[in-house]
Structure 1
Amino acid sequence: MMVFLTAKMMQRTALFVTVGGLVTSLITTFLPHWKTMNSDLNEVENWFSGLWHTCLYTEEVGIQCKAYDSIMGLPMDLQISRVLMSVSIGTGASAVLAAFPGLEGVEMCMEPPGLKRRLLIFSGVLSWVSGLTTLAPVSVVAYTTVVDFWDEGFPDVMPRWEYGEAMFSGWFGGLALVIGGTLFFVAVCMGDYDRQTSSVPNSPQVKQKTQHYLKTEVL
């Protein structure tokens, strides 16, 4: 197993996780299922609310969506969420674009020395920013939903907004982006360690590593 745990494989794993988190965050941004609501008085109607529009689902008509009439009329949490999710998509895409030429085996950005390392560090920072700007708006909307749900000022017969599926996909995408950024830093540390040990040919680490590879080839 240690043969496959290399800096090159860690870089590709970090890129794969980051791309997965970016795609999930992108889908979450445009899903209308951030919040859902159904009424006990009319169980055939289900309301859905997202960052860009609201939707009504009925068995007779199906789903009908309508964009918000005015940005200024939106609640503050949705306005902030729009901005942060847009920042998340931009920084996540930039992290992927910066990481690709920084991968080992990709014949790009070979000069000056150390440029690939700096690109991977930059990608890790951008991936962290993207993950945090995904987790923040989802958590804010979740908090306001809980506060409104337990608000005693609303009548008991009045329907309340509840969590939608997009909330959970947003948390998953944000965590994936944070993990991807962390793996980029791990890959950089592994690459630094490999270069440090390879610069000392007679070091015990190099001898042990060489013996391990020879043993693996014999098996």
Structure 2
Amino acid sequence: MAFMNRTNTQLSGLLLTLCGWVLSCVTTYVPLWKNLNLDLNELEIWTMGLWQVCVVQDEGGIQCKDYDSFLALPSELRISRILMFLANGLGALGLLFLSLGLDCLKFGEGKQELKKRLLFLGGIFSWASGLTTLAPVSWVAYITVQEFWDETIPEIVPRWEFGEALFMGWFGGFFLICGGTLLICTACSTDIQQPSSVHYKPTDIQDHCLNLEPKYPDLKI
């Protein structure tokens, strides 16, 4: 029963880590970090990502344009690119290590100490990937809120708002941290074996009493 609970916890951590890593990768490449609705033309919605800016028209057409220069980007977008790449790499390494450290996998069977270390390392990488995902997403959200409520900008100027990618990044980072926590807990837990109770058969008791007969001749069996 304890083995099944441990295995189920590991599989839950693996599923959370995988979902979080997929969301982190999607967040990196979709141009939905910021949205902009123009009052002059309500049929168009502008969206911004780490790689390009897109215009979504009401008819369903989408036109995207890549950024001309990396150095011309705002600082939050430049650093977010680097951090999201780092998060994707750390998440991939975490999935690799924790997959090798699962108890249900026959790899390294008989080497429980090695599997625990791989599982612990996978949880650490998952934790690092989650934090590295949350950092740029939260930073861009903070800059967006500051610009939205900036009183120095005239009210006639349109303001950028949160895009769907920010919420995907938050959920992805949260899943990665939760999955890493479960994996670290299972790697640090020790299997406590209850001492097995000794059962005596009636024949064993009788043989023991017979062995006592020479020393105690008056003992009747």
Provide the TM-score with structure 1 as the length reference: 0.85
- Of Structure 1 and Structure 2, the greater helix share is in 1
Q: What's 2:195 paired with?
A: 201
RMSD after superposition: 1.8
Note the C-alpha offset of 1:60: 4.8
Based on CA coordinates, which of the two structures has the bigger radius of gyration? Answer: 2
Note the C-alpha offset of 1:202: 4.5
Q: Which amino acid aligns with 1:17?
A: L
| Partner secondary structure for residue 80 of structure 1 | helix
Q: Which amino acid aligns with 2:14?
A: L
CA contact (8 A) 1:7 1:188 kept: no
In structure 2, relative to structure 1, the CA distance for the partners of 1:32 and 1:202 (3 Å cut) is: same
**2:140 is the alignment partner of 1:141:** yes
Note the C-alpha offset of 1:201: 1.9
Q: What's 1:131 paired with?
A: 130
Q: What's 1:6 paired with?
A: 5
CA contact (8 A) 1:10 1:186 kept: no
Aligned length, in residue pairs: 197
Note the C-alpha offset of 1:105: 2.4
Q: Which amino acid aligns with 2:176?
A: L
Match runs of 1:10-89 below 5 Å: 10-60=9-59, 62-89=61-88
**Percentage of identical aligned residues:** 49
Note the C-alpha offset of 1:23: 0.4
Instruction: Determine the C-alpha separation between the residues in 1 that align with 2:60 and 2:11.
Output: 46
Note the C-alpha offset of 1:63: 0.8
Note the C-alpha offset of 1:114: 0.4
Note the C-alpha offset of 1:9: 1.1
Instruction: Determine the C-alpha separation between the residues in 2 that align with 1:201 and 1:126.
Output: 36
Could you list the runs of 5+ residues in structure 2 that have no partner in the other structure?
Answer: 198-221
Render the CA deviation track for 1:128-163: whole Å, top value 9, x for unaligned: 000000000000000000011111121111101000
Q: What's 1:160 paired with?
A: 159
Note the C-alpha offset of 1:4: 8.5
Instruction: Determine the C-alpha separation between the residues in 2 that align with 1:87 and 1:128.
Output: 13
Note the C-alpha offset of 1:71: 0.1
Instruction: Determine the C-alpha separation between the residues in 2 that align with 1:4 and 1:97.
Output: 22
Match runs of 1:173-188 below 5 Å: 173-188=172-187
Q: Which amino acid aligns with 2:108?
A: C
Match runs of 1:87-106 below 5 Å: 87-106=86-105
In structure 2, relative to structure 1, the CA distance for the partners of 1:120 and 1:147 (3 Å cut) is: same
Could you list the runs of 5+ residues in structure 1 that have no partner in the other structure?
Answer: 204-219
